[in-house]
Amino acid sequence: MSHQSGITPSRELIDAFAGASESVRALRVVIENENLTVAESLATSGTWESDFSSFQSWLKPTEPSFILYRKDGKTSSGDYEWILLQYVPDHAKVRDKMLYASTKATLTKELGDSKFVDTMYGTTAAEMSFESYQKHLIHKTAEAPLTERELELQTVKLAESGADIAISSRRAHAQGVNFPISPAATDALQQLKEKADVTVVLTVDAAKESIELDKAETATLRTLGSIVPADVPRFVFFAYSHDYEGQTSSPIVFAYICPPKSKVKERMLFSSSRATILSFVEEQLQIPVARKLELDTVDEVDEAELLESLHPKRAEVLTSKPAFARPARPGGRVTPRSRPGTPAQGGSTA
């Protein structure tokens, strides 16, 4: 099942899309301040085929975006036909990749699914060209064999948008992979269940087609960088021991570390295996994971933010409703109302 981010189109985007006429060829949509908003628009200068290359300057090597591209034809309901181009470059931050993947369905639903006649996914500007779109149409109709590169991109897209998980034994797998967890990795994770002071680092071994133990060592939050590689993806489980309100707590934290400079195939394997290992740990080993992080590097772990997410502050009551003051009886003495935080004084005297 695909999980949605909760980010929705802004009123500006909804109005711009609904009011787009034949003079508007494309809209560039980005996530900004927890909203989908229009960053740029492109005017129509020719046919939709000839205008297709005009938005290439919008495609930055580290910035994902959605391109809403208008064709010249109309649907049976009289609306213009639109193509949704989902551009997610390889060197974008992992968090941004996941946000855009989990926001796509909301975007089309809010703007009107029936208006979008096609979608295309790409990670480079070359993959968003008109020639690439023509190849995309051929693949849709002819179901031609995909190249290794296309298979990798397809698997990454499926994994990032949500994978169906199936676990029938100690072998856990997600859609597109069938990698078992090695005994060494399982034993190391069991130590976490037994409250051992150990940090478990896991890797995906493509040659063995399994999830293997990379390291199991004692480490603190500040020394994770010494045992986690900086140039390849890794799965990390650790018990975050800390004091909170006079008590010691050690919740289990999971971190998916995916450096931008790692290889596409590595990101594909780890992205496809993320749900696998989490389901195995939580459902098979019965280890509760209190916090799940997705980071480019270990350096992005912020202890203050981690504490806040584990122990959200309770909302404080900023105002208090004054107590009801009973009216004084005729001829009686008025009892002064006490101020908040002080005991009531006096009363009527006999």
pLDDT, averaged per 10 consecutive residues of the chain (350 residues), comes to: 67 94 95 93 95 94 95 91 94 87 90 93 92 86 59 58 39 53 91 83 90 89 86 92 82 91 86 88 90 87 81 54 55 52 46
Cα 36 to Cα 5: distance, rounded to the nearest angstrom: 11
Cα 210 to Cα 178: distance, rounded to the nearest angstrom: 8
pLDDT score at 14: 94
pLDDT score at 320: 46
**Which domains does the chain carry?**
8-144 (3.40.20.10), 168-310 (3.40.20.10)
pLDDT score at 127: 92
12 contacts: CB under 8 Å, gap ≥ 6:
37, 38
Q: Compute CA distances 309 → 2, 34, 159, 220, 304, whole Å.
A: 23, 18, 25, 18, 9
pLDDT score at 30: 96
pLDDT score at 150: 61
Residue pair 271/278 in contact (Cβ under 8 Å)? The answer is no
pLDDT score at 2: 41
pTM of the model: 0.45
Q: Which two tokens stand for residue 103?
A: 């926001």
pLDDT score at 223: 84
